[in-house]
A and B are shown apart, each in its own frame.
Chain A
């Protein structure tokens, strides 16, 4: 198949290697013969030292960019888009997972469909995003998480939203505000009600779905807004608690809470409260004060946790 290049690909550094079938190469400057549009139907619009060797890959211009993933796109300086449908624009960015995007300066988007925008961010959780932040990161344990603005933020739990991270006490989520959801639906047989522990994925409590604090030394100030629904009787209770958690040397030494408000159906408000204990750093459990169900009863509950995180050493 034909291609279109402003130079004949003779393998020299000046003219570059042969271009890919059906490719477009409008670049005239390079320091290596491989810096050409060598991928099938690839494209280099201009600039210097750029390489488009992926299938349908494109370099929009600039200097020393590499588009090696299928359908990948780069532009700017020193960017790498190495996975399918990845995008790296700006300077020194790397988009290395399918559907990922790194935009700005020296960001890395290494998980599928992740986004890193800003400066020196690292998005390593699938479907995670870092928007307009500096030195922030999403851990692989935090799919669907987001960091917006600030510096030194960290998401480490699924669905975690971090806003306004600050780097005064170092990077890694040492000083930030997080929002999280925990939830659960359980069926209880006739007889005394039993406690219901919420989890990050709504499944039976396990190590993988707990509120694990990422640091060995940290204080969480938690505002817990929760609700519990008896879906059998259609009765509801809604509450709000203030919780403090202190982890020292890898062990949680303190979890204490106070109830701020509780409202709903009397049979629920008098029966249920949220309690917080140290199991797996901090657990959120709906605790009955007694009472029994006459038949099988299905409870469903959820809590939104607004967490101010502060490194304590």
Chain B
């Protein structure tokens, strides 16, 4: 076994089958010391992982197996990942980061932005296309929602907390402070199973058809902390719920749209204060028009609401809802 090193007498020993074209270094450990690792050029770069590579730039560190970095001040200890840009850090498996100052801690993430944080592996498969200071996952004192398969498309200070949630637009609180609150999201919820006039179906964010309520499958408000007082900042939601219900037994269908207001105001750190809803329209088989409705109520879980589906007759239903959520803070900062 051997390696190819341009400066064999400078720096620590290189790894077997390593290629080290890095001339500039200020530390002896800034070498391609990993098995079959590569430093193609630049300065002060370090590749300690097996099959790891730094394709150029300055002061990058790759310790994850088969990961690649180019740019400056990037650090990657997750395997099979790719970082480029400035000062990105990843401990994630098979992730991608471009931009600057992003941190990836969960697996299968894709981020292109700045100051974005993907917090843990329970929030895997998240995508940030263009955002400044986004959070995916839990950094709140009062919640435990996990948010896999989420996406953020634009804006700043976005924070999806539900599975599959898309934050489509979000804004800084330029006038109000630096808490993340004004954002507009889209969330999809599902239910399939029996429904009677007493046993109602419960829609869930993860598409679980078991109809068993679980924390993180309802719609949950996670609060940031007021930087001055240290108490959670209460939120308000305005929801537009577009839903479709199919009676699988009788082959009937109905669609509808509801507006829902959810208020956690006046209860910093507490539970849902009030839920109000109104149906805007329904269209479909006439037989379902008077017997089917969607409604929102406070959940059995803290800071959450449940979206339920009721029918005046017993049948087997498949119900989906697309929820457009406008979120804002309900107290001044």
| Given the contacts A184-B175, A300-B332, A238 and B260 also touching, CB distance less than 8 Å | yes
Interface size on B, residues (CB 8 A): 68
- Structural contact, B21 and A181, CB atoms closer than 8 A: no
The reply to whether B168 and A4 form a contact with Cβ atoms under 8 Å apart is: no
Instruction: Contact check, A22 vs B261: say whether CB atoms are below 8 A apart.
Output: no
Kindly specify which of B139-147, B153-161, B189-197, B314-322 makes contact with the partner chain.
Answer: B153-161
A146-B153, A181-B171, A225-B240 known; A240-B21 Cβ under 8 A: no
Residue-by-residue, is B238-270 near A (CB-CB < 8 Å gives 1, otherwise 0)? 111000000000000000000111010110000
A227 and B326 in contact, given A161-B153, A201-B175 (Cβ under 8 angstroms): yes
Which residues 142-184 in A have Cβ within 8 Å of B in the complex?
Answer: 144-146, 148, 158-161, 179-181, 183-184
Chain A residue total in the interface (Cβ 8 A): 76
Q: State whether the Cβ of B203 lies closer than 8 Å to any Cβ in chain A.
A: no
- Give the interface centre of A84, A146, A298 by most chain B CB atoms within 10 Å: A146
Alpha-carbon gap, A70 to B132, bound state (A):
23
B328 near A229: Cβ-Cβ < 8 Å: yes
Type the 1/0 row for B265-279, where 1 means its CB is closer than 8 Å to any CB of A. Answer: 110000001101110
B129 at the interface (CB under 8 A from A): yes
- The distance in angstroms between the C-alpha atoms of A265 and B113, with both chains bound, is 39
Cα of A183 to Cα of B56 in the assembled complex, Å = 44
Q: Is residue A42 contacting chain B, with contact meaning CB distance below 8 A? A: yes
Residues of A close to B130: CB separation below 8 A: 115, 127-129, 131, 144, 146
- Candidates A43, A85, A179, A262; contact of B169 at CB < 8 Å: A179
8 Å CB interface, B198-250 against A: 236, 238-240
Rounded to whole Å, the gap between the CB of B98 and the closest CB of chain A is: 6
A161 touches B154 (CB 8 A): yes
Which A residues are in CB contact (< 8 Å) with B56?
Answer: 42-43, 56-58, 71, 73
Interface residues of A in 237-292 (CB under 8 A from B): 237-240, 260-265
Residue of B nearest to A115 (CB): B112
Q: Is B330 an interface residue (CB 8 A)?
A: yes
Residue B119 interfacial (CB < 8 Å) = no
Q: A58-B70, A234-B263 are in contact. Are A227 and B324 (CB under 8 A)?
A: no
Contact B330 A234 (CB under 8 A): yes
Tell me whether B23 and A181 are in contact (CB under 8 A): no
B11 at the interface (CB under 8 A from A): no
